[in-house]
Amino acid sequence: MTRHCPAVLVAAPASGQGKTTVASALARLHARAGRRVRAFKCGPDFLDPHWLALATGHPVHNLDLWMTGEADVRRRLHQAAGEADLIVVEGVMGLFDGEPSAADLAQRLGLPVLAVIDASAMAGTFGALAFGLQHFRPGLPWAGVLANRVAGERHAGMLASALMAGPGDAAASSWLGAVMRDARFALPERHLGLTVAAELPDALARLDAAADALADTALGRMNDPALQRWAVPFAPPDPLTADAHGHRPLAGRTIAVARDAAYCFIYPANLDLLQDMGAGLSFFSPLADEPVPPCDALWLPGGYPELHAPVLSVAARCRESLQAHVAADRPVWAECGGMMMLFDTLELSDGTAHAGWGLLPGRVVMQQRLAALGPQQLDTPAGALRGHTFHYSRTESPLQPAIHATAMRGGAAGQGEAVYRHGSLAASYFHAWMPSAPAAAAALFLTRPTP
């Protein structure tokens, strides 16, 4: 049955315009008003969903027409439409950046686009930029435009006038207000993106301040009848295939999962899939020097081990239990940050070196410049896992890769991230979206998987 629900995709002309702040504030504002809000993140990002989850109180899933696939996108939005009064989707990069882009998602699913523009250094050009975003691609669903980081009421008036002066009868209805520049709701950043919400004791206060600021705009004053102009019909998805539903290759197996501030890049959809395939999950914290709990297989997800290297380096109980797990020939899948401490040495960008956990020969070296970014695919005997890579470090190891992922850029394929194998351990900078190939995901946690 088709489900109708107000939905909006929060986009911008570029990264750094304030998409996450506005999307989270919008979700928080309506959640505080008692509405049921579900949020999603366009693209493969791990960090922005932490803020959206804090705003809504619910897990946040990623939507990507290539990585997660259109069928998965439609299924998740259809489910959310049956549970929510409002769906908020945060875009990725600039509205038309990437293949596929946020605009592709909006047009394919019929999601109205709310453009957030950092207007701190512009006046009349604001109107031209907003007009261009709306009309660059014919047929793009449009919700309106919000000016962000505005200096004051006079500045806001100039921006509104610039928009009204543009061609077309829809110019007036495009203006959804201005949010003033305010340090109280700035979201701090570091390499890889925003600081994780859970690391800031005032994270919720920041979102509440942003929601309060948004409440003073036309966007923030939209009530239930007004939201209905954004109502989108979400058609029922195609039935799941037997490969993705009802198959339980991990039944009776326990998978230990590292989860703390150092290992926090985890797609909720991956956890859901592992459980759907029958696995029991047991979480532990390497930062707290907790040993690997009793389990059949281990997953070390990505995160920020470089920020916690001094602590992780001396986490003897965790290291020794991990070494014992590998010695017992039990599978380990380590991705990106989860792989970094497994080498002999982790060298930080300032040249400081910390002892790793000695399960892979060689060292990992942090650098100031981005080392790799983009969508990738890992072809395995059990299927093709889709995912991505995004890291600032490089490996130096005598160990030869067992296989490479394939980098997918602009329709052309090239050599992607190495996958290292050492006994029952498989490790790579590749981040897997496990629902893209459930059988291949299950194989990572079975005895001696073959990536």
Question: pLDDT digits over 298-310, tens only?
Answer: 999 999 999 999 9
Query: What is residue 238's predicted lDDT score, i.e. its pLDDT?
Result: 80
What is the mean predicted confidence (pLDDT) over 238-258? 78
For the chain, the average pLDDT equals 92
> Please, are residues 174 and 134 in contact by the beta-carbon 8 Å criterion?
yes
Domain layout of the chain by residue ranges? 3-234, 254-443
Query: What is residue 197's predicted lDDT score, i.e. its pLDDT?
Result: 67
Tell which residue, 347, 334, 332, 444, has the closest CA to residue 395. Answer: 347
Query: What is residue 303's predicted lDDT score, i.e. its pLDDT?
Result: 95
Q: What is the pLDDT of residues 90-131, one digit of tens each?
A: 999 999 999 899 999 999 999 999 999 999 999 999 999 999
For 383-410, give one letter per residue: b (16+ CB within 10 A) or e. bebbbbbbbbbebebeeeeebbbbbbee
Distance of alpha carbon 284 from alpha carbon 381, whole angstroms? 30
Q: What is the pLDDT of residues 354-403, one digit of tens each?
A: 999 999 999 999 998 888 899 999 999 999 999 999 999 999 999 999 99
CATH of domain 254-443: 3.40.50.880
Query: What is residue 396's predicted lDDT score, i.e. its pLDDT?
Result: 95
CATH of domain 3-234: 3.40.50.300
Query: What is residue 199's predicted lDDT score, i.e. its pLDDT?
Result: 74
54 has a pLDDT exceeding 90: yes
Q: Is 295 a catalytic residue?
A: no
Q: What proportion of the chain, given as a percentage, has pLDDT over 90?
A: 85
> Please, are residues 288 and 295 in contact by the beta-carbon 8 Å criterion?
no
Amino acid at 204: L
145 has a pLDDT exceeding 50: yes
By mean pLDDT, which of 155-159, 200-204, 230-234 is the weakest? Answer: 200-204
* 3-234 shares its CATH topology with 254-443: yes
Q: Which residues pair with 415 in a beta bridge?
A: 406
352 has a pLDDT exceeding 70: yes
What is the mean predicted confidence (pLDDT) over 267-274? 97
Report pTM.
0.93
Higher-pLDDT residue of 220 and 245 is 220
Distance of alpha carbon 81 from alpha carbon 83, whole angstroms? 5
Torsion angle, alpha carbons of 133, 70, 412, 400, to 10: 130
Residue with tokens 């669903």: 141
Residue with tokens 């596929």: 100
Query: What is residue 410's predicted lDDT score, i.e. its pLDDT?
Result: 61
Query: What is residue 242's predicted lDDT score, i.e. its pLDDT?
Result: 42
- Phi then psi for residue 253, to 5 deg, are -100, 145
Give me the catalytic one of 42, 264, 295, 336.
336
Split at pLDDT 50, 70, 90, the class of 433 is: very high
Taking every pair of Cα atoms in the chain, the longest distance, rounded to a whole number of angstroms, is 71
